[in-house]
Structure 1
Amino acid sequence: MFTSTGSRGLYKAPLSKGLLLVLNGLTVMLTLLPQYQELFVYNLQAVTQQHQVWRLLCGRLVCLDVKDSFCSSLLIYNFRVFERRFGTRKFASFLLGTWCLSALMDFLLAHAFQFLFDYEVEELPAGLLAPVFSLFVPFYRLIPRMPVTQVLGHIDITNKSLVYIVGLQLLTSGPFMWLLALSGLISGRLYHSNVLWLQKLLFVPAWVSCIGRYILEPVFSSSQPSSETPLGMGATLDIQRQQRMDILDQQLLLAQYNESTRNTRQQPQSGLLQWTRLFPSLRQRGQNRPPMQARPQVQPQPSTQSPLLDNSPVAEEQVALLVEMGFSRTDALEALRASNNDVNMATNFLLQH
């Protein structure tokens, strides 16, 4: 459903996991204890007229609406890619900076709305909503757009479409949610562009990061998913997709290679080109070959093997390179034919047999 970047789950995203657990837990508690919800109402009039400054903290952290909490949690889970890419400290600095900037933007936009339409905005939706909307700025600018499918032959569905749909659902969940969304987008744009050196003014100090690393990170850290194939994380989705395609191509060639091996074993041939001798195990290869003894070069002979193995000439330099690695010349020739003269793939073939 969401952008496929890196591992699934919350691996290497302790801050995102902590926000999801703590904020959603508080939302559930306030739902069960409605008498305490008044303390977490984001009331602008109470802040300006009654000087209840503490509402800027309580009213801008915990969602009182379960629907808002659910949508914002989905977005935080998707935006965990930025914590993996930039690191926990930089990700926390972005959230802190946009949280502070959006507090100022909320009052400026509320007064501008009152000046233009003569309507006073008393309350805004509670929760960590403006910083969540601010994350759409790096999401739009840094995550590449990759088409997935088409609807009705003209409408493209990309890897980012459903994320925008969830954001649109959150935007339309309240009458003044648009004000928080606009405040978050402006704050995210200012902080991401480092206007007036905001990234040097609003950031998480190093000592706070160290405390969180030794105290909070062990609590909210997640183990690496065991069901996934280990894969280097590319900087962009294109690189990650190319990595997966390379692995699939390699597995396909290896499967074809194994199939040709099985077919040849079912029809044994005379001479030197017998598959039972071509690819012995590494242990047998090391035991049967005397040290520092050169093997006689074998001239290629016509065979009835699969066209996959002899459809292209083999470069002598590549054969010599594999022989220097410790493989026999016969094994190197057959592996290079199977891999279409790809030395890396031929090495993998030889190591896996």
Structure 2
Amino acid sequence: MQAGGVSGFQNAPVTRAVVLASGLLSVVFSANRRARALGLSYQEIVKNFRLWRIFASVFAFQSTPELIFGLYLLYYFRVFERQIGSNKYSVFSLFTISVSSLLQILSLVLLKDSNYISALASGPYGLIFGSFIPFFLDIPITSRFRIFGVNFSDKSIIYLAGLQLLLSSWKRSLIPGICGLVAGSLYRLNVLGIRRMKLPQIIASFFARFFAPPPGSSSRPSRSLVGNMSSHTGRAVQNQPSTGSAPVAEPPESSIAMLVSMGFDANAARQALMRARNDINVATNILLEAQSH
């Protein structure tokens, strides 16, 4: 599935805020040559109790390759904010970041008497690798191909980017990545009913006001993608081209079933596939955008 049917950060203000914070802090600390000192360590966090280091380590990457792959994955995973809404995605982000940070600190405490590791890599590993849980479970493979005899799918590039980030600093990045996967799994299991929680409306309004792209910044506004399709009624798609173009074939039942397995209504899936001319990637994006309104 492609990163999104709407360009930029339309309907994803929380993701935009995280990307901006991560990019700016990474550049600032790198310019001051303090990036390497950002990672969580037992000495700084537990013994010296410098809690400000936790905030800095949550957002700022320590190297340019980590920054590139990290921001790419954050940008791609904005599809989940569009799917569940910015409020719930804010809860997901806070939960995965907080739980991952606590698990990282716990790992430092457990490993303090060993020579295994002294400090961990910094960056939003909790949010990134927590997002791989719904990516693995909810996003279907829609196409497969072979390169030099090796099988790949349309999801492979995301997995490869995640693997690169996970192993970018070896043990220093491996532990934060694993902690992020655990945090994402706990959210998926609805620990403490976390998936039903929402932030106060004032916080959601803050992100919508200050981090949503300005009107007209996208060349393809979200409502133009949805058009006259209703995700709840199953009405016929309107405004079909009539200037000699061939009629759209009835969507395959397998494509409809795949969209239904992602949680979409069968009638809405059929309408989206017809509008997308049976392109399941485009249809998925149409449904996600319709669901966000």
TM-score of the superposition, structure 1-length normalised? Answer: 0.59
Deviations along 1:207-254, whole A, 9 cap, x unmatched? Answer: 21123333x13566773324999433999xxxxxxx9xxx9xx76992
Q: Distance in 2 between matches of 1:58 and 1:129?
A: 13
Q: Distance in 2 between matches of 1:208 and 1:89?
A: 8
Q: Which amino acid aligns with 1:103?
A: S
Q: Distance in 2 between matches of 1:209 and 1:57?
A: 21
Which residue of structure 2 aligns with residue 89 of structure 1?
87
Residues 1:181 and 2:177 are matched in the alignment: yes
Instruction: Report which stretch shifted further, 188-197 or 222-231.
Output: 222-231
Q: In the alignment, is the contact (CA less than 8 A) between 1:62 and 1:128 conserved in 2?
A: yes
Q: In the alignment, is the contact (CA less than 8 A) between 2:42 and 2:112 conserved in 1?
A: no
SS in 2 for 1:10: coil
Which residue of structure 2 aligns with residue 263 of structure 1?
none
TM-score of the superposition, structure 2-length normalised? Answer: 0.70
Which residue of structure 1 aligns with residue 24 of structure 2?
25
Instruction: Report which stretch shifted further, 81-90 or 13-22.
Output: 13-22
Q: CA deviation at 1:29?
A: 2.3
Q: Distance in 1 between matches of 2:167 and 2:22?
A: 21
The correspondence of residues 147-226 of structure 1 with structure 2, limited to 5 A, is: 147-152=143-148, 155-175=150-170, 176-199=172-195, 204-214=199-209, 216-218=210-212, 223-226=217-220
Sequence identity (%): 24
- Higher RCO by CA contacts (8 Å cutoff, separation 6 or greater): 2
Considering only CA atoms, is the larger Rg found in Structure 1 or Structure 2?
Answer: 1
The correspondence of residues 1-353 of structure 1 with structure 2, limited to 5 A, is: 3-34=2-33, 36-37=34-35, 40-113=38-111, 118-119=114-115, 121-152=117-148, 155-175=150-170, 176-199=172-195, 204-214=199-209, 216-218=210-212, 223-226=217-220, 230-232=224-226, 254-255=244-245
Which residue of structure 2 aligns with residue 347 of structure 1?
none
Q: In the alignment, is the contact (CA less than 8 A) between 2:166 and 2:174 conserved in 1?
A: yes
Q: Which amino acid aligns with 2:147?
A: V
Count of aligned pairs between the two proteins: 240
Residues 14 and 227 (structure 1), Cα distance of their counterparts in 2 relative to 1, 3 Å cut: closer
Q: Which amino acid aligns with 1:8?
A: S
Query: Which structure 1 residue ranges, 5 or more long, are not aligned?
Result: 236-242, 258-353
Which residue of structure 1 aligns with residue 275 of structure 2?
none
Deviations along 1:75-113, whole A, 9 cap, x unmatched? Answer: 011101011111111111101011111111113333455
SS in 1 for 2:244: helix
Q: Which amino acid aligns with 2:202?
A: W
Residues 213 and 38 (structure 1), Cα distance of their counterparts in 2 relative to 1, 3 Å cut: same
Q: Distance in 1 between matches of 2:147 and 2:88?
A: 38
Q: Which amino acid aligns with 2:46?
A: T
Q: Distance in 2 between matches of 1:200 and 1:256?
A: 45
Let me know the Cα RMSD of the aligned residues: 3.4
Residues 10 and 52 (structure 1), Cα distance of their counterparts in 2 relative to 1, 3 Å cut: same
